[in-house]
Amino acid sequence: MAKRKRRRHAKAQALTPGQWVIFALTGLALVLGLAVSLAEGEGLPSWESIFSRVGLEAQPLPAEGLAAAANAVHFIDVGQGDATLLQSGGEYCLVDAGEPDSEDALLAYLRGMGVSRLKLLVMSHPHADHIGSMAAVLQEFPVDEVLLPDFDKAPYPTTATFERVMQLILDKGIPAVTAAPGQRFALGNGAVQVLDAGVETENYNDLSQVLHFEAGGLSVLLTGDGEKAVEKAALGAGGLPHVQVFKAAHHGSNTSNTEDFLWAVRPRYVVVSCGANNSYGHPHKEPVARFAALGAQVLRTDENGSVVLAEEENGLRLYTARTPEGGSTGGEQEAA
């Protein structure tokens, strides 16, 4: 080994200083890529994986939407709230439905993407920035099944927004399932799996499920507004997967996104769903620094608009789409 090194060194002496710099930088990039991949337990890295760490370049989302058969996750720009659309094999699951005043933007986005029915509608927890436009979604789209938080773990919600959603589910006779670890909901070529289902709490954020969506080569982790207690419980339960995409918990709040949790799931892309200039200061600077330490590419609905990661023939693609109106508002409602 030492001999070979000396020989290469002797040859390299003929390089100009400029060539030396290029040579050294290329070597450094390769060594870093190798070190990161080995640290992640992935074995030797492919060229593609080394260069994918540079980040994906965003392209405008085609107006006609993605191919129905695609595997994709859409972080829809609903201002200060969450609405995440999971897509596979022409089937759709919507996780949360934004704040009340994002109704038009949300419905327009779903229609624009060619959604005509939802195989599954998930309520992560009953705060208005997650269920604000859920009644409108239930009115507009046929829904095959609803996944609800485990309300036995918290005082039962009494807001008018919540009661309206529950009444519509009842009136339409939609089967409703209470979240429990181990549940699996088939979606196209993949499935949405409940890894954990909230903790005993007075804080509705901590009712949020830990959901893993996997379809083809796409893997996504959603934890709603789950805070430290939810992340600790999920870590304790074990079996957290390494994922490509993570929705920053609780809009990128420092109440969540703990270092231990992030390093357990090691996302390559983190998407923060939050409103421009929101009154909570989301995303907080500490979690943003933790995402950077992971080497993850960070995307934000307040800056990028709707963010879509889609698995296509030639790998993962990143699309962004500005919401014409209604999205990226600051939001002033409580308990975002």
Going across the sheet that includes 176-178, the strands are 58-60, 315-321, 306-312, 71-75, 84-88, 91-95, 120-122, 146-148, 176-178
- Between residues 58 and 335, which has the closer beta carbon with respect to Zn ion? 335
| Residues 73-132 within binding reach of Zn ion (CB under 5 A) | 129
In whole angstroms, the minimum distance from the beta carbon of 185 to Zn ion comes to: 22
User: Can you tell me the distance from the alpha carbon of 223 to that of 186, in angstroms, rounded to the nearest whole number?
Assistant: 19
Least gap, CB of 335 to Zn ion (angstroms)? 7
The nearest distance, CB 193 to Zn ion, in angstroms, is: 22
Residue recorded with tokens 């796409």: 218
Check: CB of residue 318 under 8 Å from CB of residue 299. Answer: yes
Applying the rule CB under 5 A, the residues between 26 and 65 that interact with Zn ion are none
Q: Please choose, out of 83-91, 94-102, 222-230, 236-244, the segment that lies near Zn ion by the rule CB under 5 A.
A: 222-230
CB atoms under 10 Å from CB of 156, counted, come to 8
Does position 225 interact with Zn ion (CB under 5 A)? The reply is: yes
302 is an interface residue for Zn ion by CB under 5 A: no
Contacts (Cβ under 8 Å, ≥6 apart) of 219: 212, 213, 241, 242, 243, 244, 245
Residue 250, Cα to own-chain centre: how many angstroms? Answer: 11
CB of 82 to Zn ion, least distance (A): 6
Contact 319, 59 (CB under 8 A): yes
214 binds Zn ion (CB under 5 A): no
Cβ closest to Zn ion, residue 204 vs residue 291: 204
Could you give the dihedral angle defined by the CA atoms of residues 134, 140, 142 and 147, in that order, rounded to the nearest 10 degrees?
0
Least Å distance, CB 225 to Zn ion, is: 4
Other C-beta atoms closer than 10 Å to the C-beta of 216 total 15
Residue 276 in contact with residue 328, Cβ under 8 Å? yes
Decide whether 36 or 335 has the Cβ nearer to Zn ion.
335
* CA 329 – CA 336 distance, rounded (Å): 13
Nearest to 296 by CA among 36, 34, 75, 76: 36
Binding pattern to Zn ion, positions 129-158, x when CB under 5 A?
A: x-----------------------------
Nearer to Zn ion, 197 or 336 (CB): 336
Binding mask 170-209 for Zn ion (x = CB under 5 A): ----------------------------------------
Q: Per CB under 5 A, which region of 110-118, 145-153, 191-199, 223-231 contacts Zn ion?
A: 223-231
Selected range binding Zn ion among 224-232, 238-246, 291-299, 314-322, rule: CB under 5 A: 224-232
Size of the site for Zn ion (CB under 5 A): 3
Beta carbon of residue 129, minimum distance to Zn ion (angstroms, whole number): 4
Q: With binding defined as CB under 5 A, does residue 336 bind Zn ion?
A: yes
Write out the residues near Zn ion by the rule CB under 5 A. Answer: 129, 225, 336
